[in-house]
Structure 1
Amino acid sequence: MWAYNETFYQIYPIGFCGAPVHNDGVTEHRILKIGEWAEYLGDLGIGSIILNPIFESDNHGYDTRDFRKIDCRLGTNEDFKEVCEKLHDNNVKIMLDGVFNHVGRGFWAFKDVQEKKWDSPYKDWFHISFDGNSAYNDGFWYEGWEGHFELVKLNLQNPAVVDYLLDCVKMWIEEFGIDGLRLDVAYCLDHNFMRRLRSFCEELKPGFALIGEVLFGDYNLIVNDEMLHSCTNYECYKGIFSSFNCMNMFEIAHSLNRQFGPEQWCIYRGKHLMTFVDNHDVTRIASILTNKNHLPLAYGLLFGMPGIPCIYYGSEWGEEGVKAPDNDYALRPCFEEPKPNELTDFIKELIEVRRNSDALCNGSYRNVVITNHQLIFERRTDNERVLVAINAGDSEFTAGNGELQGNFTELLVNADEIENVTLNGQLTMPAYSVQFLKAV
Structure 2
Amino acid sequence: MMAWYEDAVFYHMYPIGMTGAPRENREEGVVHRFEELDKWIPHVADMGCTAIYIGPLFESSTHGYDTRDYKTVDRRLGDNEDFKRFVKKAHEAGIKVVVDGVFNHTGREFFAFQDIQKNRENSPYCSWYKGVNFGWNSPYNDGFGYEAWRNCFELVNLNLWEPAVREYLLGVIDFWIDTFDIDGIRLDCADCLEFSFMEEMRRRTQAKKGDFWLMGEVIHGDYSRYIRDGQSMLHSVTNYELHKGLYSGHNDHNYFEIAHTIRREFDENGGIYKGMKLYSFVDNHDVDRIISKINVKEHIYPIYTLLFTLPGIPSVYYGSEWGIEGRKEGGNDNPLRPAAEIEKVLEGQKDSPIMHWFKWLGEMHKTYRECLAYGRYRELLLTNRQYAFARFTDNQALLVAVNNDEQETEVSIPVPFADKVYINLETKEKVPVENGRVQLRIKPAGSILLGINI
TM over 0.5: yes
Aligned-residue offset at 1:309: 0.3
Matches within 5 A, 1:165-244: 165-224=169-228, 225-244=231-250
Aligned twin of 1:144: 148
Structure 1 match to 2:69: 66
- Distance in 2 between residues matched to 1:411 and 1:121, nearest whole Å: 66
Match of 1:370 in 2: 382
Tell me which residue corresponds to 1:107. Answer: 110
Equivalent-residue separation in structure 2 for 1:227 and 1:274 (angstroms)? 15
Match among 12, 28, 32 for residue 31 of structure 2:
28
CA distance in 2, matches of 1:401, 1:314: 35
Report how far residue 402 of structure 1 moved: 4.0
Counterparts of 1:255 and 1:176 in 2: how far apart (Å)?
Answer: 38
Which residue matches 2:367?
Answer: 356
Instruction: Please tell me whether the aligned partners of residues 410 and 435 of structure 1 are also in contact (alpha carbons under 8 angstroms).
Output: no
Deviation at 1:399, TM superposition (A): 2.1
Residues 234-278 of structure 1: CA distance to partner in whole angstroms, max 9, x if unpaired?
0000000111111111110000100001222x2000011000111
Task: Provide structure 1 residue ranges, at least 5 long, that are not aligned to the other structure.
Answer: none
Aligned position for 2:301: 296
Matched with 1:271 is 276
Tell me the residue number matched to 2:330. Answer: 325
SS at match of 1:251: helix
Name which of 251, 261, 279 aligns with 1:255.
Answer: 261
Amino acid at match of 1:5: D
CA contact (8 A) 1:306 1:365 kept: yes
**Match of 1:419?**
429
* 1:436 is aligned to 2:446: no
In structure 2, distance between residues paired with 1:156 and 1:126: 8
Asked if the contact 1:47–1:93 (Cα under 8 Å) also holds between the matched residues in 2, the reply is: yes
CA contact (8 A) 2:388 2:413 kept: no
Counterpart amino acid of residue 232 in structure 1: T
Give the Cα separation in 2 of the matches to 1:134 and 1:408: 69
Partner of 1:59, secondary structure, is: coil
Q: Does 1:51 align with 2:64?
A: no
Say whether residues 1:306 and 2:311 are aligned partners.
yes
Deviation at 1:396, TM superposition (A): 2.8
Amino acid at match of 1:273: L
Q: Which position in structure 2 is the counterpart of 1:344? A: 355
Q: Which residue of 1 aligns with 2:402?
A: 390
**Counterpart for residue 120 of structure 1:** 123
Deviation at 1:209, TM superposition (A): 0.5
Secondary structure at 2:277 match in 1: coil
8 Å contact kept, 1:62–1:103: yes
Alpha carbons 1:180, 1:209 under 8 Å: kept: yes
- Per-residue deviation at 1:279? 0.5
Q: CA RMSD, aligned part only?
A: 1.4
Deviations 1:169-222 (A, max 9, x none): 111111111000000000111001101111111111110001110101000101
Letter aligned with residue 364 of structure 2: V
CA distance in 1 between counterparts of 2:413 and 2:428 reads 24
Query: For residues 289 and 408 of structure 1, do their structure 2 counterparts lie closer, same or farther at Cα, with a shift above 3 Å needed?
Result: farther
The Cα offsets for residues 86-123 of structure 1, whole Å up to 9 and x where unpaired, read as 11111111100000000101111110011001111111
Give the letter aligned to residue 215 of structure 1: I
Distance 1:76 1:172 in 2: 13
- Aligned-partner Cα distance in 2 for 1:402–1:137: 67
Counterpart residue number, 2:89: 86
How far apart in 2 are the matches of 1:227 and 1:169?
15
In structure 2, list runs of 5 or more residues that go unmatched.
none
Distance 2:32 2:382 in 1: 51
Aligned residues: 436
Question: Comparing 155-164 with 357-366, which one deviates more in the overlay?
Answer: 357-366
Q: Is the 8 A contact 1:306 1:361 kept in 2?
A: yes
**Contact preservation (8 Å) 2:402, 2:442:** no
Residue 345 (structure 1) shift: 1.9
Whole-angstrom distance in 2 between the partners of 1:399 and 1:178 = 46
Percentage of pairs with the same residue: 43
Point out the more displaced range, 220-229 or 177-186: 220-229
Amino acid at match of 2:63: H
Q: What residue number does 1:379 align with?
A: 391
Equivalent position amino acid for 2:324 in 1 = E
The one-letter amino acid of 1:419's match is: E
Question: Alpha carbons of 1:419 and 1:179: their partners in 2 closer, same or farther (altered >3 Å)?
Answer: same
Q: Could you tell me which amino acid in structure 1 is paired with residue 363 of structure 2?
A: E
SS in 2 for 1:152: strand
Partner Cα distance (1:149, 1:411) in 2: 55
Tell me how far 1:342 sits from its aligned partner. 2.3
1:212 partner amino acid = G
Contact 2:442 2:448 in 1 (8 A): no
Mean Cα deviation higher: 329-338 or 376-385: 376-385
Task: Name the SS for the 1:240 alignment partner.
Answer: helix
Tell whether the 8 Å contact from 1:16 to 1:332 is kept in structure 2 after alignment: yes
The corresponding residue for 2:7 is 5
* CA distance in structure 1 between the aligned counterparts of 2:222 and 2:54, rounded to whole angstroms: 26
Indicate which of 45, 48, 53 corresponds to 1:42: 45
Separation (CA, whole Å) in 2 of partners of 1:62 and 1:32: 23
How far is 1:426 from its partner? 3.7
Name the CA shift for 1:142/1:393 in 2 (closer, same or farther; >3 Å): same
